[in-house]
Amino acid sequence: MNVTNPYSVRVRFAPSPTGYLHVGGLRTALYNYLFAKHNGGKFLLRIEDTDQSRKVEGAVENLIATLDWAGVHYDEGPNRDGGHGPYVQSQRLDLYHKYARQLVEQGNAYYCFCTPERLEEVRKKQQAQKLSPKYDGHCRFIPAEEAKRRRESGEMSVVRMKIPDGGETAFEDIIRGRVTIANSILDDQVILKSDGFPTYHLAVVVDDHLMEISHIIRGEEWLPSTPKHVLLYRYFGWDMPQFAHLPLLLNPDKSKLSKRQGDVAVEDYRAKGYFKEALVNFVAFLGWNPGDEREVFTMDELVKEFSLERVGKAGAVFNIEKLDWFQFQHLQKKTDNEMLTLLKGQLKSSGISNTFQDSYLLGVIGAMRERATFVRDFVEKSPYFFTPPLEYDAAVVKKRWKPDSSAKLTKLSEEFSMLSNPTKEDFEAALQRTAEALKIGNGELIHPLRLAVSGLGAGPGLYDILFILGKDETIKRIKTAIEKIQ
């Protein structure tokens, strides 16, 4: 895209540390990251912790760890100084005070002494008149001298920005085009609270300016706040960054994405075994697409292709089946060596002691990969590769194990025992020979044999299983099955 700002691309992800990284937050972070990397710019992380009542211990560390896991690495931020810090708002209070004072002195803001009780009364009256609640401007015209005296005498106050009486405030949004809002619906927003902390609106504008942010890419829920920010930029006489408000994330029933309909924390998906590649790919497509049929992308490919022009306005549906599809695709893309490491990790966490040769595990990977979405599927869908079947699927026994199956499998077992280092094809040929000798169809051997070696009625190719297990193990399992099933 054409970057019209005088300085280079600098974007930020500015979460409030509420305890975990929401998938919507991951999308915002990712789009900022992709945009920065695509344009050779910088991606900043800024912690917006001005609401002290919502503070959660360990939330920042968790957030950073989760972003790191996802591969969304920031160039500047906490513990990565880029000369624009501190990157935590609670460490920047002096700056907000200074700029709030400047606005008061310029006449763009004022001290408000209204008590919570008075504000509540105003709100009730407005409600009764069916007006939308809004500050009534009671303290707007208190002379500076009087305000000073009252503050010095210890009276509690906040600072409110002045919204112009009439007219409109407009700005350009890269995704939405021109956005215009009547000033009459804007409130004289509190920008500095009585506890000395700024509200989001003042802090975000001051920080985005001082951190030289060129593009503000954030969720649509912040769109109604933007006119207030635009006014603040004007009051300060600062260059305006460009805005891009990302579409809402929706549940499949088109309601706003919520906890009630499923997990929203990135760490939950991580714990369930989703690859970061899959989650990132999936999240990238929640609002963006490359304009053609391609869907499976690595992070590098996303960086190459990403543009804000290809982000839509319409809400994006968070569809778990699609996430699973991406997970499957990315599992297919892993190299054998990557899968080997992952499978070993899975055996460990499943409590299966790994007495297997790498070549054995690679055989399992080859046979099972196309049937697996998650790494745990190797163990859960084909446990028989790691432990001989302890029981046999009752429904399959009923359907496939005939009174003469034992005799037939005994014959087959004899045929197998004459093979030396059999390949897949050797097993197959031996089975065919046995079927011919017994004058029966292959199926009368194949089905009970699969049951005997795996305990199940379905799975990867039977001869693949036999080859992986090897001759001795196959014969042993046939013998055990005959004893146990009869």
CB of 218 to ligand GLU, least distance (A): 4
CB of 61 to ligand GLU, least distance (A): 17
Contact 103, 94 (CB under 8 A): no
Residue with tokens 């401007």: 137
Our measurement of the distance from residue 280's CA atom to the centroid of its chain's CA atoms, rounded to an integer in Å, reads 6
Q: How far are the Cα atoms of 348, 454, 473 from residue 386, in angstroms, in the given order?
A: 12, 10, 12
Residue type, 445: L
| Residue with smaller CB distance to ligand GLU, 37 or 215 | 215
Contact 311, 30 (CB under 8 A): no
Residue of 130, 254, 259, 439 marked active site:
259
| Residue with smaller CB distance to ligand GLU, 59 or 158 | 59
How many whole angstroms separate alpha carbon 278 and alpha carbon 296? 9
Give the 3-state secondary structure of residue 175. coil
CB of 39 to ligand GLU, least distance (A): 18
Contact 428, 415 (CB under 8 A): no
CB of 29 to ligand GLU, least distance (A): 10
| Residue with smaller CB distance to ligand GLU, 229 or 408 | 229
How many whole angstroms separate alpha carbon 310 and alpha carbon 247? 12
Degrees, nearest 5: CA angle 42-47-53: 165
Residue with tokens 């009671």: 138
- Of all helices (H) and strands (E), which one includes residue 11? strand 10-13
Residues engaged in binding ligand GLU (CB under 6 A): 14-16, 48, 200, 204, 218, 222
Our measurement of the distance from residue 426's CA atom to the centroid of its chain's CA atoms, rounded to an integer in Å, reads 48
Q: In residues, how long is the chain? A: 486
| Residue with smaller CB distance to ligand GLU, 258 or 432 | 258
| Residue with smaller CB distance to ligand GLU, 15 or 460 | 15
Cβ contacts of 409 within 8 Å, gap of 6 or more: 445, 448, 449, 452, 478, 481, 482
CB of 183 to ligand GLU, least distance (A): 21
| Residue with smaller CB distance to ligand GLU, 15 or 198 | 15
Residue type, 432: Q
Q: Shortest CA distance to 210 belongs to which of 6, 5, 10?
A: 10
CB of 246 to ligand GLU, least distance (A): 10
Q: Is 259 a catalytic residue?
A: yes
Indicate which residues carry an active-site annotation.
259
